[in-house]
Amino acid sequence: MYRIDLNCDMGEGFGPFRIGEDHELMKHITSANIACGFHGGDASTIRSSVKLALKYNVAIGAHPGLPDMAGFGRRKMDISAQEAYEMTVYQLGAVMAFAQSEGGRVAHVKPHGALYNMAAVDPKIANAIAEAIYKVDGTMLLYGLSGSELIRVGERIGLKTMNEVFADRSYEDDGTLTSRDIEGALITDSSVAAAQVVSMVKTGTVHSRLGGLLQLKADTVCVHGDSPGALNHIIELKKTLHESGIRIVKAGE
C-alpha cells in the first residue's frame, strides 16, 4: 500500500504576531516542523506549538534556520560548516527542552528555508547539520530534499532519513526547488498541488517547471504553513490521497 507522512512548517510567528493557521492545520497533519527561534518562533510560540502537537498526536520536529528573522530565514547567508553545526545544536536544544517539559520528544529535524536549500547541495553544510543531529540524538529522523546531498550525508553518518517532496512548490531540472523569486515557484491551485503529490508517491516522478521529468522518492510531503491557502491545500491533499489509495501515516509507523 502507498503511504506518506504529511508535514507542515509551524510556529513561525513571534510575540503577538502569528503566521499561518496552526491551530487548524495541526488537526490534519502527522508531523509538525516547529521553528526554533532564529528565523521565526520564540519561547512562548515554541511551547504552544509543542502542546498543540501533543494534543493532536502529531510528531514534533525541530525546524532550525538561519539567524535572519527579518528575512524569515529565506535569504542565503555565507556561513561556515562550524556555524551550521553550532546553530543546529543550539536550536535543537530549544525545542527538545520544551518537548521534554511537556511530556513529549522531538522525533525529527528539518532545516528551514535557505539553510535547507544550502544543505541540499553543499556537502560541508549538509555534513555539519547531520553531524549535529547525530551527536545530539541519533535516533531522530532527518528530513531533507528528496535525493539531496543532505539525505546522502545523513545516511552515511547513520541517521534515518526521510526524502521530502513538496505539494506547493515547483522543481527545477536539477531536482532543486524553484527560487521563490521566479514566477511559478509557488503552486497556488490546491488540485494541482494534490495531483503533483499523487504522481510523486505513485510513480516516483514529477515534472519540473520547464517540463523535464524528474525521478524522486517520496517519504514525506510538506505544505508550507505560511503559504496562502495552506489549509485548503492540506484538506484537498488529504481528500485526493485517500481517493488515490495513499495512506497518510506518521513517519516511522
As averages over each run of 10 residues, the pLDDT of the chain (253 residues) reads 96 86 95 97 97 98 97 96 98 98 98 97 98 98 98 98 96 94 92 96 96 96 88 95 97 83
Identify the pLDDT of residue 101: 98
Q: Which of 153, 94, 84 lies closest to 114, judged by CA?
A: 84
The residue among 72, 68, 69, 48 whose CA lies nearest residue 60 is 48
Check residue 227 and give its pLDDT.
82
With vertex at residue 193, the alpha carbon angle to CA 11 and CA 197, rounded to the nearest 5 degrees, is 95
pTM here is 0.96
**b (16+ CB within 10 A) / e for 157-176:** bebebbbbbbbbbbbbeebe
Phi-psi region of 20 (alpha: psi -120 to 50; beta: other; left: phi over 0): left
CATH 3.20.20.370 assigned to domain 2-248? The reply is yes
- Please tell me the chain's helix, strand, coil percentages from 3-state DSSP, rounded to the nearest 5: 40, 20, 40
The neighbour count for residue 51, using CB atoms within 10 Å, is 14
pLDDT at 226: 86
Q: Return the domain boundaries, the chain.
A: 2-248
pLDDT value, residue 15: 85
